[in-house]
Amino acid sequence: MAGVTIDNIDIGVYFQYARRMQMIEQINRQYHFEEAASIPPQIRMVDYYPKLSEMDMLLGIVPLHTPWAYFYPPPLFRFQRRSPFGFFRVAPSLGSFEDQEENEEKLDSTECDTEEEKKEKAALKSCFKQIDKINSWLSFIVGRVGQFLQG
């Protein structure tokens, strides 16, 4: 069995390589990749909708339209810019601090009959404890950001 070396490769391989290089250069010209280095790093465009990748176009793959979610986003979703530091709580859906304390008290007073229920109760207690810890971290960070912005 003879090995394939560069001197005995079929000439069609070179033609395919040349065509692929032409396609890459065409894509570079089409999308102005040469000028991309001159774009300031402060400019950022967030796009939530997936697009056909250049590799798929280059390889000639015809993708079927498959949704990445089976529901439409809420109105004006693309204009929302939420920062994790814009909130003072990590899980505001748990209600107010008083509601969360009431839920913890209910959890403490709940009787467990099986070993599985005891494990679930311990897991929920651990979750509430971790949420409190993250909320305290978040309030500390937001306070420091406020100090930084003041002076």
Q: Which two tokens stand for residue 30?
A: 């089409």
Domains held by the chain: number: 1
Q: Is the pTM of this model over 0.85?
A: no
Please check whether residue 1 lies inside any domain of the structure. Answer: no
Task: Give the Cα separation of 143 and 149 in Å (integer).
Answer: 10
Please check whether residue 36 lies inside any domain of the structure. Answer: yes
131 vs 147 pLDDT, higher one: 131
Q: What percent of the chain has pLDDT over 70?
A: 66
* pLDDT tens profile 80-127: 655 555 556 777 777 777 888 888 888 888 888 889 988 998 998 998
Contact predicate 141/89, CB 8 Å: no
Please check whether residue 127 lies inside any domain of the structure. Answer: yes
Q: What percent of the chain has pLDDT over 90?
A: 8
Q: What is the pLDDT of residue 110?
A: 87
Task: Give 1's pLDDT tier (boundaries 50, 70, 90).
Answer: very low
Q: Is 104 exposed, middle or buried (0-12, 13-18, 19+ CB in 10 A)?
A: middle
Q: Which residue type, as a one-letter code, is found at position 13?
A: V
| Domain region containing 102 | 6-150
Please check whether residue 37 lies inside any domain of the structure. Answer: yes
Close Cβ partners of 89 (under 8 Å, ≥ 6 residues apart): 135, 138
Contact predicate 121/110, CB 8 Å: yes
Please check whether residue 139 lies inside any domain of the structure. Answer: yes
